Structure 1
Amino acid sequence: MRPDVEARLLARAARAQAEGRVPSLTAGVVQDGELTWSAGRGVVDGSRPDADVQYRIGSITKTLTAVLVMRLRDEGLLRLDDPVERLAPGTPFGQRTVAQLLAHTSGITAESPGLWWERTAGGDWEALAAATAAHDVKHAAGTRFHYSNLGYGVLGRVVEGLRGRSWAGCVRAEILEPLGMRRTSTMPEAPAAPGLAVHPWADLVLPEPGNDHGAMAPAGQLWSTVEDLARYARVFLGAAPEVLSPATVQEMSVPGGVDERPSGWSAYGLGLQVHRDADGRTLIGHGGSMPGFLASFLVDPAERTASVVLANTTAGLDMSIGTDLLATLRELDPYVVPEWAPATDAPEAVLELLGLWHWGPAPLALRLLGDGMLELVAFRGRGRESRFRREGQAWRGLDGYYAGETLRAVRREDGSVSHLDLATFVLTRGPYAPDDVQPGGIEPPGWRTSG
C-alpha cells in the first residue's frame, strides 16, 4: 500500500482513539481478501496493540450464528420458514420463523429475561427457555424491525439441536478452522485487551465484567482480532465457498427489516446489517457492543474491500470510522475491476432469447451477462428489472421485482420461440403481439390512430 494511503488511514484511526478517549484501538482494511493495512493506538499490557490482540466483538458474533444457520439451510436440514417451536421447543414464540429471527422481524423482546444479560453470567438453554413468557412477544410477527438479542439465543439452540453439539463447537469446526481463524474464541486468550468504561467527565477508567453468557452466547460472546476478522471477510466477499456459497451470501445481504432510526438508508438482511451510504454504495456487516468493547465490521462487495475496527471502551468511539476507512480506499486506492473478456460459451438456445421484448407496450431488453446469467432491463427509463440464473430449462429471478419468479421460453411446434412467460406475464417481440398468445386477446382491428 502506498505511504499516502497508509497515512490517511492512520490519521483517521488516531483521531477516533484520541477524540473518543478510547483506551486502545486496532483497525485494519482488507482488499480483495487480504489484510493490507492495520494499526493500533493506545496501550494494552504496556504496549501499542497490533492486529493479533483480541477484543470482544459483541454482536458481530451474530453474523457467525447466521452463517451456521444458513449452512443448515443449504444442507436441507431446515427451511427459513420453519417455526421456532419445531426446532427449539420450550418457548412461547410458536410459529415465528427462522427467517424472522435472523432478520429481527419476529416481534420477540429485545433482551433475555432476568438480569442485564450482558453484565451477568448466563445459564443453559433449559433455564433460558423456562424464563421466557407470553409477554416476551412485543409485536406481531413480520410487522416491523425490532432488534432481538434473545432471538439469536434461540437460533443458537436451533444450531445445537440440528448439529448435536455445542454452538461454540459448531463455530470452531465450520467457520474458524476452515478460515484459519486461530485467534477467535469464546473467552479471552492473551494477548487480549481488558474491557473498560471511561468516566464521562474525567479521564478515568473502570474495568467491565467479562462473563460466559451461556445460552445467550450466540448473540455476542466471541473475542477476535483484526487479522482473524480480515480472514472472515472473505466469506462476505464470496471468496470462501467452503464456508458459505456466494449465492447464499447474496441472499443474506438482501435488505429486509428496515431500521427507521438512522437518517440514512439502513436495513437488516438475514443476520447482516445492510447500509446504503451517501455515495450510493451498499455495505454489509455488523457492529458490536458489549460492556467494555465496541467493534465494527463492514464489507463493500462492489469494491471488494472490508474494514475492521476493535476498541476496548463501553462508549465514546465514533462508529463512522469503519465507513470512513472504506471511503479512503475508494478515493486513494480504488478497486480495479477485472478485464472484460469474450464469453467462452453461449448456447444457441440462450442467444435466441436475447434482445428486444415487450411487456404489453413497454419495451424491455434481455441480455446475457458474463457469468452466464440473464438480465432484464427497461429499454427506456426504469422498469421492472431483474437478473435471472438458469435452473434446468427455465430461469429463476435473483433480484428486483421478479426475485424468485420463473422466466421460461414458450416454443412453437417447430421449436422456435413464440414468447416468454414471466410469472404469467407474456413478453413478445412486438408490442401486444402476436394476437394468439396475449391473455384477453387483442381487440380488432388492433393498433389504430385514435381511441
Structure 2
Amino acid sequence: MTTSQDELLPGTRRALLRRVAVAQAEGRAPSVVAAVVRGGRAVWHGARSMVDGQVPDERVQYRIGSITKTLTAVLVLRLRDEGVLDLGDPLEKHLPGTGVGEVTIAELLAHSGGLAAETPGPWWERTPGALRPGLGDVLGERAAPHRAGRRHHYSNPGYAVLGALVEELRGASWEEVLRREVLEPLALDRTSVRAQSPAAGGWAVHPWADVMMAEPTEDYGPMAPAGQLWSTTGDLARFAAFLVRGDDRVLSEESLREMRTASAPSETADLAVGVGYGLGLQIQHQDGRLLVGHSGSVPGFLANLTIGVADDVAAVVLANCTSGPMLSQVGADLVRIVAEAEPRIPEPWRPLTEVDRSVLELAGPWYWGTSASVLRVTADGLLSLAPLSGGGRRSRFRRNGDGTWTGLEGYFAGEPLRAVRRPDGTVDHLDVGSFVFTREPYDETAAVPGGVDPEGWRGIG
C-alpha cells in the first residue's frame, strides 16, 4: 500500500491535520501520529510534535495495546475456518486444565465468558511477565466472577487464554504463529512483539504540570496476546484495509464480516466500549455511522483503529502518553471529516454476467402476511430481501448450490431461504426460516400457515 498525499483535497487534509493538532495540544501528548485509509489505500498521514527530535512518520513504532486482541482473534478465526475448532466448542475440548473450560471460544472472543477483567497480583502492564509464567498465574483463584454467557465483561486474561489456545493447536509460540500467518502475508513488517527502531518512547504526563516521566516497557509473557504489540500507522493502515476487504491468504471477507457483527452488548456504564463487541472488534454508533475497530492503551501509549465500513474510510491514531487525548473520538472525527468532505463515490452499476431464470423468477414483491417486501437479484450473485418501504427485517442471502440460500445478516443471518414449488414447477411461496412469503397478501392459492379465510378480503358494511 503506497501513501499518496494528493488523493484528498487540500481542505480535507488541513481539517485532518487540525484535528490531530488539537488532540496533541489539548491532550498534552508528546506526539500524536495518524493515518487515513480510503478505498483500501492509505491516502493521508499526519503527525504533531516530536519523537526523538524528529516528526514521526508512518514507520515509527508505537505500542498499540489491545489492538493486539484483534490480531489474536484473526488467528482463532483461521483455526475455525480450517475446521480445527468450532466457535461453540468449550475451551476444555482443546485446552484442558485451565479451570474455566466450560467457557466457549466465541464467548472468549466476545468478552462474554465471565472472566475477570485483569490478572491477580500486581498491575500486569507495569510488571515483568515473568511474574506470571503460566495461565494459572494469569487467571488466579477467582478466574470467573460472572457466569459465562450472561453479560459482556471485558477480560484481558481471556485473550491470554486465546493466545495459549493458538499455541496449543499450532504447536508453536503465539509470536511465531502471528508472524507466519498474519504479519508476513499482509506485509506488516513494522509490527513486532518488541520495539524495533525507530520507535517512540512511552511517557506519563503530569496531570497538573507540563512535565513528563518515562514509563517502563515490560515484556508481558503469557499476557502478550492481549496487548504486547508494537506497530506503526503504515502497518495499521494496511491492517485496516484487510479488516474490510479480507485476504484469502489470511482470512476471508465473510469471516471478517462475522468479526464485525455484534456478539455481545456493551456494559451500559462503560461508554468507552461502545454499543457492542464482535469477535475481537469493538462496535459503536457515532454521528449516524456504524464504526468498528479497536482501541488500545498501555502505560506510555494510546492507540485507536476506527473503520467506517459504509464510507470505506478508516483512521489510525497513535500517541505516546499514558493518558490524555481521547483517541477513539479522534479516530471517529477523522473518518467523519473525510466522509463528509469527500463522500464516497459509489461503484458503477453493472448487470449480471449470467442470468439464471429459475432465480430471476423469484425477483419482485413478496408478502409476509400483509407486510410487503421485495426480493432483488444483485450483480454480486446474492439475493436481497428487504421491506418495500420503511424499516424492518432485511438480509442478503448467499447461494448454497442446492437450490437454497443462507442469510448473511440481521434477523435472517444463518437462516435458510428456499423456493417451494407446486407440482407443475411454479413457485408457491418462499420459505425463509419457516416464514412464508407469498406473491399476494395471504394468497389463498398458496400454503399459508393456518390457512386463509374462505370469505377472503371484505369490507365492513
Q: Which residue of 1 aligns with 2:199?
A: 192
Aligned-pair CA distance for 1:5 = 1.9
The amino acid of 2:330's aligned partner reads I
Whole-Å Cα distance in 1 between the matches of residues 435 and 293 of structure 2? 37
> In the alignment, what sits opposite 2:121?
114
- Against the structure 1 CA distance between its residues 102 and 113, is the aligned structure 2 distance closer, same or farther, given a 3 Å change threshold? same
2:190 aligns to what SS in structure 1?
A: coil
Question: Of residues 152, 162, 166 in structure 2, which corresponds to 1:159?
Answer: 166
**1:303 corresponds to which of 295, 304, 311:** 311
Please point out which of 321, 331, 349 is paired with 1:340: 349
Structure 2 CA distance, aligned partners of 1:252 and 1:438?
37
- In the alignment, the residues of structure 2 paired with residue 284 and residue 131 of structure 1 have an alpha-carbon distance, to the nearest angstrom, of 28
Aligned residue number for residue 39 of structure 2: 32
Q: Secondary structure at the match of 1:29?
A: strand
Q: Which residue of 2 aligns with 1:290?
A: 298
State the distance in 2 between where 1:105 and 1:263 align. 17
Q: In structure 2, what is the equivalent of residue 241 of structure 1?
A: 248
Cα distance, 1:439 vs structure 2 = 2.4
Q: How does 1:9-24 map to 2 (within 5 A)?
A: 9-24=16-31
- Which amino acid is the alignment partner of residue 282 of structure 2? Q
Gaps of 5+ in 2: 1-5
Partner residue, 2:320? 312
Does the CA contact (< 8 Å) of 1:235 and 1:243 recur in 2?
no
Residue 4 of structure 1: CA displacement?
2.1
Structure 2 vs 1, CA of residues 45 and 236 (structure 1 numbering), >3 Å: closer, same or farther?
same
Post-superposition CA distance 1:81-103 (Å, at most 9, x none)? 11111222222212111111111
The SS at the match of 2:185 is helix
SS at match of 1:233: helix
Match of 1:323 among 332, 340, 349: 332
Q: What are the ranges of 5 or more consecutive residues in structure 1 without an aligned counterpart?
A: none
CA contact (8 A) 2:59 2:190 kept: yes
Give the structure-2-normalised TM-score: 0.93
2:215 aligned with 1:208, yes or no? yes
Matched length:
450
Change (3 A) 1:436 1:193: closer
1:74 matched to 2:81? The reply is: yes
Is contact 1:90-1:130 (8 Å) kept?
Answer: no
User: How high is the sequence identity, in percent, across the aligned residues?
Assistant: 51
Pair 1:425-2:435 in alignment: yes
Change (3 A) 1:92 1:264: closer
Alpha-carbon deviation of 1:265? 5.5
TM superposition shift of 1:130: 5.3
3-state SS of the aligned residue for 2:182? helix
218-227 or 400-409: which moved more? 400-409
Quote how far apart the aligned CAs of 1:405 are: 0.7
Indicate the larger mover: 441-450 or 139-148.
441-450
**CA separation in 1, counterparts of 2:290 and 2:30?**
31
Is the 8 Å Cα contact of residues 95 and 101 (structure 2) preserved in structure 1? no
Q: Deviations over 1:139-158 (max 9, x none)?
A: 12111111000100000011
| Post-superposition CA distance 1:320-357 (Å, at most 9, x none) | 11111111111222221211122212210111111121
Task: Please give the alpha-carbon distance, in whole angstroms, between the structure 2 residues aligned to 1:439 and 1:34.
Answer: 51
Show the counterpart of 2:419.
409
* SS in structure 2 of the partner of residue 136 of structure 1: coil
1:255-294 correspondence to structure 2 within 5 Å: 255-259=262-266, 260=268, 261-262=270-271, 266-278=275-287, 280-294=288-302
